[in-house]
A and B are shown apart, each in its own frame.
Chain A
């Protein structure tokens, strides 16, 4: 029996989906699992060793170029798709899972011949597969305040009926953890904290602690990072090398990035700076005891694909170097201050901590007493929604929901 999984979102989403692929492997131990992923993400295949038997590539970049650049004939893209679909239909798939949940993949799912389709797919101009309350909830609310408290990984697992168990990857710790890693850049300038602030943070950590500080960057980011950081502080590497570095670090300080999710897979202590459109209540680190600092600004979190609406980057400005430095010291056990005191001293921030409980699943706890009630409400609401959706799933077994297919949002329900 062969199963195909389709995952065509961004790098962070693919990393977040690893526990689902692990669940799928556990659910079907004898199956061969194939994954269709974006071609530019071949470098993350190492994360799926022992889980995925075969990768197939979707050449998103070339296809997009074929539609968007004058030099290409638009029919070239059409032909490439035809070849891909033929290749996929050459394999006798028992089931195909849509991990992506976008219109694009729904149409692709519609073209793949398989006995079972799990997740959305299109057929004769309509979308199907929204056949249980969980996938409907995911479709309608993910990325919106209604789904606050539901982690992307958990919600997608429920939507696709894949068992999920929190299990961290065993890293190869080769050296004492004396390094603090910083991922300074994200894929969206709104989510970036100023590099000059990171520079001050690096200086403080080097001056005041015994930790070595390294700033992670992809090769194409070298030039930008070199303008601010000394060579000795830079760790320019590919994703796999970053994974090795993470396994040996004492703390990762990062924005909302795929490196954060990679760190969470290895259970690395994380300090997240949640700025711009970062949605820590839905895509925070899927791990225990990750600390999130979120500026309390009226404009945030802002929309995923919108430009910053403010004349200055308010959320970034509100987050001070002193606060991040102090939080890092607490995370590194260098300071005996507790988080409650920290939160009270920094009332301009929400200080949050991620937790994974057996029954509740993933949750975010607010460490500031004055704001705690707001976040407790999120947890209470989540509990009620979980009960209600489970009740509906038991009653209907999905049948009535197929008839009430909700509209797919324009961008699908991809992770913000």
Chain B
């Protein structure tokens, strides 16, 4: 993974986690917070498993 992509993912992750915390603070656990968690996990998976998005064999 390139450094540029890694940095960008790291920034995206921070933004998503911040948004998640804000939603929790203002609204508690709800559908919005779950969707933000899904996006957060997607970014984490991309970081861990670069190939998970590819139809490689």
In the complex, B45 has a CB within 8 A of chain A: yes
Q: Is the CB of B39 within 8 A of A187?
A: no
Q: How far is the CB of B22 from chain A (nearest CB, A)?
A: 13
Q: Is the CB of A11 within 8 A of B16?
A: no
In the complex, A161 has a CB within 8 A of chain B: no
Residues of B near A389 (CB, < 8 A) are none
Residues of B near A11 (CB, < 8 A) are 55-57
Residues of B near A369 (CB, < 8 A) are none
What 1/0 flags go to B30-55 for Cβ under 8 Å of A?
01001111110111111011011111
Among B38, B53, B54, the one with the most A-chain Cβ atoms within 10 Å of its Cβ is: B38
C-alpha spacing A218/B48, complex, angstroms = 24
Q: How far is the CB of A52 from chain B (nearest CB, A)?
A: 19
- Given B31, B35, B43, B52, which contacts A68 in the complex, CB threshold below 8 Å? B43
Q: Is the CB of B35 within 8 A of A111?
A: yes
Q: Is the CB of B53 within 8 A of A102?
A: no
- Contact A102/B45 with A74-B12, A74-B15, A185-B57 known, Cβ cut-off 8 Å: yes
C-alpha spacing A260/B9, complex, angstroms = 32
CB neighbors of B among A60-79 (8 A): 60-61, 63-64, 67-70, 74, 77-78
In the complex, A257 has a CB within 8 A of chain B: yes
A109, closest chain B residue (CB): B34
What 1/0 flags go to A84-110 for Cβ under 8 Å of B?
010000000000000000111001101
In the complex, A186 has a CB within 8 A of chain B: yes
Q: Is the CB of A82 within 8 A of B35?
A: yes
Among A9, A10, A185, the one with the most B-chain Cβ atoms within 10 Å of its Cβ is: A10
Q: Is the CB of B36 within 8 A of A78?
A: yes
Q: How far is the CB of A88 from chain B (nearest CB, A)?
A: 12
C-alpha spacing A187/B9, complex, angstroms = 21
Q: How far is the CB of A182 from chain B (nearest CB, A)?
A: 12
Q: Is the CB of A40 within 8 A of B41?
A: no
- Contact A258/B35 with A68-B8, A104-B45, A411-B48 known, Cβ cut-off 8 Å: no
Q: How far is the CB of A297 from chain B (nearest CB, A)?
A: 23
- Given B29, B43, B52, which contacts A10 in the complex, CB threshold below 8 Å? B52
Interface size class of A (residues with CB under 8 A): 35 or more
Interface size class of B (residues with CB under 8 A): 20 to 34
B45, closest chain A residue (CB): A104
Among A64, A69, A108, the one with the most B-chain Cβ atoms within 10 Å of its Cβ is: A64
Q: Is the CB of B15 within 8 A of A9?
A: no
In the complex, A122 has a CB within 8 A of chain B: yes
Q: Is the CB of B31 within 8 A of A85?
A: yes
In the complex, A311 has a CB within 8 A of chain B: no
Residues of B near A410 (CB, < 8 A) are 44, 48
C-alpha spacing A239/B8, complex, angstroms = 33
C-alpha spacing A108/B52, complex, angstroms = 18
Q: Is the CB of B38 within 8 A of A67?
A: no
Q: Is the CB of B52 within 8 A of A9?
A: yes
- Contact A69/B8 with A60-B42, A77-B39 known, Cβ cut-off 8 Å: yes
C-alpha spacing A81/B38, complex, angstroms = 9
Q: Is the CB of B34 within 8 A of A111?
A: yes
What 1/0 flags go to B15-34 for Cβ under 8 Å of A?
11000000010000101001
Residues of B near A188 (CB, < 8 A) are 51
Q: Is the CB of A64 within 8 A of B29?
A: no
Residues of A near B44 (CB, < 8 A) are 103, 410
C-alpha spacing A186/B54, complex, angstroms = 12
C-alpha spacing A125/B36, complex, angstroms = 12
In the complex, A259 has a CB within 8 A of chain B: yes
- Given A10, A41, A68, A411, which contacts B46 in the complex, CB threshold below 8 Å? A68
Residues of B near A63 (CB, < 8 A) are 39, 42
Could you write out 18 A-B pairs with CB less than 8 Å apart? A64-B46, A67-B42, A68-B43, A69-B8, A77-B42, A85-B31, A102-B41, A104-B42, A110-B34, A111-B31, A111-B34, A124-B29, A185-B56, A186-B57, A218-B55, A258-B57, A305-B48, A305-B49
> What residues of chain B have their CB less than 8 Å away from a CB belonging to chain A?
5, 8-9, 12, 15-16, 24, 29, 31, 34-39, 41-46, 48-49, 51-57
Having A78-B39, A186-B56, one finds 17 other A-B pairs with CB under 8 Å, namely: A9-B52, A10-B49, A10-B51, A11-B55, A67-B39, A69-B8, A70-B8, A74-B39, A103-B41, A107-B37, A107-B38, A111-B35, A124-B29, A125-B24, A185-B56, A187-B51, A218-B55
